[in-house]
Structure 1
Amino acid sequence: MPERVDPIIFVDADACPVKDEALKVAERLGVVLTFVSNGGIRPSRDPMVRVVVVPAGADAADDWIVEQAQANDIILTADIPLASRAIDKGCHVLGFTGKPFTPASIGMALAMRDLKQHLRETGEIKGYNPGFRPADRSAFLSALDTLVRKAKLAAGK
């Protein structure tokens, strides 16, 4: 596959609470947006929005994203192993709450994920994630806007 110049936003779209916000930023800044899921997302008539449905499977969407993404692309996900794989490819990675995953932070994120999984398995903690708040949505919008501008600048756009 030939190298692209323009960054693309890839969204790990299964259970993504910020699809509309990602669409808004992509439209405003003229970036291709690709939603990747196991199904349940309507196709878009917008040529800048792609919807990719992958076969059912634990990591099918993650694998597709990592396979297609190139350095300087933007990956939106809450999946820490996917974030790690995308960082290894030189991608920018942003969580749905607006928190970036970076080469400096991904090791601790993976370690905390593993620790929490162990504590849930042993019954030490419950498996509840914090609720998604309006402040998270606002932080995501701001962080994505900044990240897309940074990626476009890095691409010479």
Structure 2
Amino acid sequence: MHIWVDADACPGVVKDILFKAARRTGHPLTLVANHPMRVPPDSNINFVGVAAGFDAADDLIVERCSPGDLVITSDIPLASDLLAKGARALNPRGDEYDKSTIRAALTMRDFMDTLRSSGERTGGPSAFSQRDKQQFANALDRILASA
């Protein structure tokens, strides 16, 4: 199982958890972003930079991931594409996307986007908490143990 990270908006604390997991398990880890970022010197941990552009990182991840790979992303359309390809998708708060819930998540995303574009103030996600960090770490451990 290769672990891919849609790294542009991934919280640093989640990246740190992923670095430790890659070292511990030996699973290859690749961060993909449109701006440079440092990764620890480890043969299992890589960074791939993409040109700035709409969905450039997403497109590369979809192109390179294989069935059974795990992708860390909060991008619901990307998660949908990955599920269709047979990969797994986990958001940085520890919620795993699956085929039974992805359509509802896409519908809610589109609804909220429509509200925002009509001028409605919807607010953003809550601040990333210690509970979110623990939930992500637990979900990641479960997925890696099942691989």
Q: TM-score range by the shorter chain?
A: over 0.9
Alignment of 1:1-157 (within 5 A): 7-17=1-11, 18-150=14-146, 152=147
Sequence identity percentage: 43
- 2:55, 2:120 → 1: CA distance? 27
Q: Which amino acid aligns with 1:65?
A: I
Shift of 1:43: 4.5
Q: Which amino acid aligns with 1:12?
A: D
- 2:41, 2:126 → 1: CA distance? 34
Shift of 1:26: 1.8
User: Structure 2: which 5+ residue stretches go unaligned?
Assistant: none
Shift of 1:127: 4.0
Aligned residue pair count: 145
Alpha-carbon contact 2:71-2:87 (below 8 Å) kept: yes
Alpha-carbon contact 1:44-1:51 (below 8 Å) kept: no
Backbone CA RMSD of aligned residues: 1.1
TM-score normalised by the chain length of structure 2: 0.94
Pick the structure with more helix per residue: 2
Q: Which amino acid aligns with 1:98?
A: G
TM-score normalised by the chain length of structure 1: 0.88
User: Structure 1: which 5+ residue stretches go unaligned?
Assistant: 1-6, 153-157
C-alpha distance after superposition, 1:15-62 (max 9, x if no partner): 211110111122211100000001231144210001000111110000
Shift of 1:11: 0.3
- 2:65, 2:82 → 1: CA distance? 8
- 2:8 alignment partner, SS class: coil
- 1:121, 1:39 → 2: CA distance? 27
